[in-house]
């Protein structure tokens, strides 16, 4: 087990007289005030830390600070390594000494192990500090939703079938390379699959496209049969080395590929409009949802429900599965706020999509004095707020969350998640929120 700290804060840590330098210094002080944060991080990364070589190695403190630095400056792992080598300010913030800098593989292995639950706990601790410093009292609450996209390409049926063939051929090549594997009979259909996929993109006419889809589905099914036959042959041969891992990949991808074939046949040959909740849009990010907000373009990722206070700090965020209506998430967000802060907000503002008579009455029953929706949706002003003046003030207050969401997307990477898998998607969102809150809290505290 690694030490939580390898380097103590030093009076000789120098940050440049620049906005970023001052922010890093303030953020570092906030982290130093809570060494208990490291216990939560240590529990996540205990099995991921690199083996120590001499006295060098990554401390838990350094892992957390590098993770925050990565999201704060929106760096790739390769860029993070370069910045840690090049910048004395970044080295001071990350608590790295001398010229030694960890490799990007070590950083990725440790940072990706920090869970969404840990990031949420860190955020709650920051909010408690903000409450004690009278920066955020959580008595005013505003709620809105947005979408963070997954790292997937345009999910047309043709491209998904082409992805399926690529994955299946990769599995066949891996099976053939297993030690002691028997000779397997199969053909590589990647070339013809790619041709059919590209032809589908540039072909016009339903009949012509249907013929191309028939060929593409045929080679996909043939490739799937090769993998099934290879699985049977490897199982009968009794080889042990590598088979379990290979078989696990087959078990993961096979039902997804079968679903891709099924939805293509339903749409192309049977003329069905496949419901969004029955579709798969990626073999590699299968958790991805199809999101349509209002009449805007279709987005592929996950809907987020966010709440902020008067300070602009993000009080809470929920990564939703599916595409639930905003109105159905109003009460859960309010209940989470009460659970976290122990009391209902005095005033509350939300986007028009959250508006309903039931939501208004339920919020009032929970002792929220004023509940204002951006659009009235048949509700009366006097039912929502004490006066038209209070209604206008709270409606204007709600607009501030739009700026917060824009900042999260532009400066903290929340427009598109670059990490893979559902668990990492949640962790990515929460790490962006923590980096945003830490920087904003540092600015607010120094003013």
Domain residue spans of the chain: 19-114, 117-152+287-424, 157-278
Using the predicted structure, report yes or no on whether residue 359 has a pLDDT greater than 50. yes
| pLDDT for the residue numbered 98 | 64
| pLDDT tens per residue across span 251-262 | 999 999 999 999
Q: Is the dihedral of CA 6, 8, 10, 13 positive or negative?
A: positive
| pLDDT tens per residue across span 191-205 | 999 999 999 999 999
Q: What is the rounded radius of gyration, in angstroms, for the C-alpha atoms of the chain?
A: 26
| pLDDT for the residue numbered 55 | 45
| pLDDT for the residue numbered 53 | 45
Do the strands 140-149 and 298-308 form a parallel or antiparallel pair, or are they unpaired? antiparallel
- C-alpha to C-alpha distance for 318 and 181, rounded to whole angstroms: 47
Using the predicted structure, report yes or no on whether residue 12 has a pLDDT greater than 70. no
| pLDDT tens per residue across span 361-383 | 999 999 999 999 998 888 999 99
| pLDDT tens per residue across span 89-128 | 999 999 887 667 889 999 999 999 999 999 999 999 999 9
- C-alpha to C-alpha distance for 222 and 164, rounded to whole angstroms: 11
Mean pLDDT, all residues of the chain: 91
Q: Which of 292-301, 347-356, 387-396 has the lowest mean pLDDT?
A: 292-301
User: Which residue in 116, 3, 133 sits closest to 63, CA to CA?
Assistant: 3
User: What whole-number percentage of the chain has pLDDT above 90?
Assistant: 80
| pLDDT for the residue numbered 1 | 41
Task: Give the pLDDT mean for 57-71.
Answer: 92
Using the predicted structure, report yes or no on whether residue 51 has a pLDDT greater than 70. no
For residue 341, what is the enclosing H or E element? Answer: helix 326-341
Using the predicted structure, report yes or no on whether residue 2 has a pLDDT greater than 60. no
Q: Any bridge partners for residue 143, and if so which?
A: 307, 350
Residue 6: which pLDDT band, with cuts at 50, 70 and 90? low
- C-alpha to C-alpha distance for 300 and 298, rounded to whole angstroms: 7
- C-alpha to C-alpha distance for 213 and 207, rounded to whole angstroms: 10
Using the predicted structure, report yes or no on whether residue 218 has a pLDDT greater than 50. yes
Crossing angle of helices 157-176/243-268, nearest 10°? 160
Task: Give the pLDDT mean for 24-51.
Answer: 86
| pLDDT tens per residue across span 303-317 | 999 999 999 999 999
- C-alpha to C-alpha distance for 223 and 169, rounded to whole angstroms: 7
Task: Give the pLDDT mean for 281-286.
Answer: 95
- C-alpha to C-alpha distance for 30 and 37, rounded to whole angstroms: 11
Q: What is the pTM of this model?
A: 0.91
E-assigned strand segments in 251-381: 289-292, 298-308, 314-319, 347-350, 370-373
Phi/psi at 142 (5° precision): -130, 145
Total length of the chain: 447
Using the predicted structure, report yes or no on whether residue 11 has a pLDDT greater than 60. no
Q: Is 153 helix (H, G, I), strand (E, B) or coil?
A: coil
Q: Any bridge partners for residue 308, and if so which?
A: 142, 314
For residue 181, the number of C-alpha atoms closer than 13 Å in the C-beta half-sphere is: 20
Highest mean pLDDT among 113-117, 176-180, 322-326: 113-117
| pLDDT for the residue numbered 288 | 95
Residue 52: which pLDDT band, with cuts at 50, 70 and 90? very low
What CATH number labels 117-152+287-424?
3.30.420
User: Which residue in 63, 69, 57 sits closest to 38, CA to CA?
Assistant: 63
| pLDDT for the residue numbered 439 | 95
- C-alpha to C-alpha distance for 275 and 125, rounded to whole angstroms: 42
Using the predicted structure, report yes or no on whether residue 10 has a pLDDT greater than 60. no
Task: Give the pLDDT mean for 69-73.
Answer: 95
| pLDDT for the residue numbered 239 | 82
- C-alpha to C-alpha distance for 242 and 318, rounded to whole angstroms: 39
Q: Which of 179-183, 291-295, 398-402, 427-431 has the lowest mean pLDDT?
A: 291-295
| pLDDT tens per residue across span 125-171 | 999 999 999 999 999 999 999 999 999 999 999 999 999 999 999 99
| pLDDT for the residue numbered 224 | 97
**Tokens (6 digits) for 183:** 């000779």
| pLDDT for the residue numbered 54 | 43
């Amino acid at each position: 087990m690694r030490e939580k700290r390898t380097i103590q804060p030093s009076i000789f840590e120098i940050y440049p007289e620049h906005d970023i330098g001052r922010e890093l210094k303030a953020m570092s002080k906030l982290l130093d005030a809570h060494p208990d944060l490291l216990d939560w991080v240590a529990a996540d990364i205990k099995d991921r830390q690199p083996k120590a070589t001499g006295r060098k190695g990554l401390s838990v403190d350094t892992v957390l600070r590098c993770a925050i630095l990565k999201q704060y400056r929106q760096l790739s792992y390769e860029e993070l390594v370069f910045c840690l080598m090049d910048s004395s300010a970044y080295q001071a913030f990350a608590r790295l000494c001398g010229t030694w800098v960890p490799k990007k593989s070590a950083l990725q292995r440790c940072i990706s192990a920090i869970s969404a639950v840990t990031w949420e706990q860190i955020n709650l601790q920051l909010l408690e500090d903000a409450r004690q410093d009278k920066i955020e009292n959580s008595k005013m609450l505003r709620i809105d939703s947005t979408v963070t996209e997954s790292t997937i390409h345009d999910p047309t049926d043709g491209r998904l079938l082409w992805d399926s063939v690529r994955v299946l051929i990769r599995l066949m090549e891996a099976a053939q390379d297993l030690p002691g594997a028997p000779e397997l009979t199969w053909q590589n259909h990647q070339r013809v699959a790619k041709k059919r996929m590209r032809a589908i993109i540039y072909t016009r006419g339903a009949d012509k496209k249907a013929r191309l889809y028939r060929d593409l589905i045929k080679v996909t099914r043939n490739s799937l049969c090769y993998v099934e036959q290879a699985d049977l042959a490897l199982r009968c041969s009794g080889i042990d080395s590598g088979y379990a891992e290979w078989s696990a990949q087959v078990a993961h991808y096979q039902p997804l590929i079968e679903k891709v074939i099924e939805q293509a046949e339903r749409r192309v040959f049977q003329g069905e409009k496949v419901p969004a909740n029955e579709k798969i849009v990626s073999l590699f990010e299968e958790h991805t949802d199809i999101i349509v907000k209002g009449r805007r373009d279709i987005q592929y990722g996950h809907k987020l429900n966010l709440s902020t206070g008067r300070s602009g700090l993000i009080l809470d965020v929920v990564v939703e599965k599916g595409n639930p209506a905003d109105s159905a998430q109003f009460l859960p967000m309010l209940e989470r706020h009460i659970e976290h802060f122990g009391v209902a907000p005095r005033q509350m503002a939300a986007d028009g999509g959250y508006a309903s008579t039931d939501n208004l009455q339920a919020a009032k029953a929970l002792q929220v004095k004023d509940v204002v929706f951006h659009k009235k949706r048949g509700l009366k002003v006097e039912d929502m707020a004490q006066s038209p003046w209070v209604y206008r003030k709270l409606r204007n207050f709600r607009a501030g969350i739009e700026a917060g969401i824009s900042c999260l997307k532009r400066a903290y990477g929340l427009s598109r998640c670059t990490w893979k898998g559902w668990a990492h998607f949640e962790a990515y969102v929460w790490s962006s929120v923590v980096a945003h809150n830490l920087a904003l809290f540092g600015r607010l505290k120094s003013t």
